[in-house]
Amino acid sequence: MSLTDQIRIRTLTRSDLDQMYRLHLTREDISDPKDAWKRTQLLEWLAFHNPYARNGEGTYYVAEVDGVIVGFEGRMPMEFAINGARRKGYYVHDTYVHPDYRKIGFWIVRALAKAIEEQSDSFFCLMGGTPLNLMIQRRMGYLELPPAAQYTKVLGLNRQISKVLKVKPLVSVVAPLAQLLLKALDVLILSKYNTPVTSINFFDSRFDTFMQEVLSQTGVSSYKNSSFLNWRYIHRPFPKEKVFGVEHKKKIKGFIVLTTKLSETERPVGIILDIMAASDDSETIAALCVAAIRFFREQRVDSISCLLSDKRYVRIFRRFLFRKSSAGQQLLLGNLEKCENEREHLTNIEHWHMTRGESDGLMLSA
């Protein structure tokens, strides 16, 4: 019997967490056992606390060889907002194979993918991923949509000016002046917007009402009710997100979720994970964007990055000097034959309300 014939696929159980920890220790991006333990804690939260998972529904699939877990792939049950209605779906993410088994890695990932296809009763999405995973997903025949664009606002100019001038004495003179001018321009633009925002420490029932009110106006996205938002941003292990909201007469009009991460130069970058408001409420969208800029200026980040597909949001972000910086992240769709009524709507990226928060990637970072 060949090694590929010995691959057994099943759903993850709590008793597997010890093996998942040992598997995380083999990751190239983890050098400290503490980080492997943290990632295992985050995986446990994703796998066993998802508010959209039905009783007994698998959220991670593992590949075993001789009773040992050698690979896994996450499948997050999700409720989506689609064309004014709630619809069940899934996000597929977090694929990994032990280094000693990568010679058959294609067959392991393919076996995981086939199990997910067969055991999912609706469509699923795959967002981003490594070049190898993308190659396998394309071979599986999943439909690839044009990626939502990434937009960036520059707050710190030292690195950009250093690349252009390459003369340290000149950089030390030019950079502070350019930085001052950029900040002055921001102050001038932001001074026109005074809608108050509040810090959000918990998503209460008002967010359920808000989501229902904007359901018919928002594009395709995860259905962001209070239980989902608290699971994703508030109650998870090692939370580090900052949330702001806009309120009017005690009703929620919109919210934005922010975080920071270190860039390759070890300088922090601001990330807009999520933003939601009525798509025609330009005042609220602008107020949330302003709140993000002011918060990240206080954090002294080099730049702010976000992923946007809704042109109504893009138009407003451009007012605040956000510019398209890259093609963003790939979005692939599978099992579309299981949602024929929504297929046409789902397969147009312009119908999506895509943000970084749609991916579980940042939920796996501590």
Domain boundary among 100, 125, 148: 148
Q: Are residues 107 and 154 in the same domain?
A: no
Whole-prediction pTM value?
A: 0.91
Which residues span the domain enclosing 112? 3-148
Residue 286 belongs to a domain with what CATH number? 3.40.630.30
pLDDT at position 3, please? 62
pLDDT digits (tens, 9 = 90+) for 82-136: 989 999 999 999 999 999 999 999 899 999 999 999 999 999 999 877 777 778 8
- Asked if residue 318 belongs to a domain, the reply is yes
pLDDT digit string, tens, across residues 55-64:
889 999 999 9
Residue 61 lies in a domain: yes
Same-domain status, 204 and 228: yes
Q: Are 304 and 179 members of one domain?
A: yes
Residue 170: pLDDT band (50, 70, 90) is: very low
Q: Are 159 and 298 in the same domain?
A: yes
Residues 10 and 115 in one domain: yes
Is 91 part of any domain? yes
Q: Are residues 217 and 260 in the same domain?
A: yes
Q: Does residue 56 fall inside a structural domain?
A: yes
Specify whether 102 is located in the same domain as 179: no
Q: 50 and 87 share a domain?
A: yes
**Overall domain count for the chain:** 2
**Residue 132 shares a structural domain with residue 175:** no
162 and 50: one domain? no
Check whether residue 47 and residue 168 sit in a common domain: no
Q: Are residues 198 and 299 in the same domain?
A: yes
SS3 letters across the chain: CCHHHHCEEEECCHHHHHHHHHHHCCCCCCCCHHHHHHHHHHHHHHHHCCCCCCCCCCCEEEEEECCEEEEEEEEEEEEEEECCEEEEEEEEEEEEECHHHHHHHHHHHHHHHHHHHHHCCCCEEEECCCHHHHHHHHHCCCEEEEEEEEEEEECCCHHHHHHHHCCHHHHHHHHHHHHHHHHHHHHHHHCCCCCCCEEECCCCCHHHHHHHHHCCCCCEEECCCHHHHHHHHHCCCCCCCEEEEEEECCEEEEEEEEEEEECCCCCEEEEEEEEEECCCCHHHHHHHHHHHHHHHHHCCCCEEEEEECCHHHHHHHHHCCCEEEEEEEEEEEECHHHCHHHHHHHCCHHHECCCHHHCCHHHHCC
- The pLDDT value recorded for residue 339 is 92
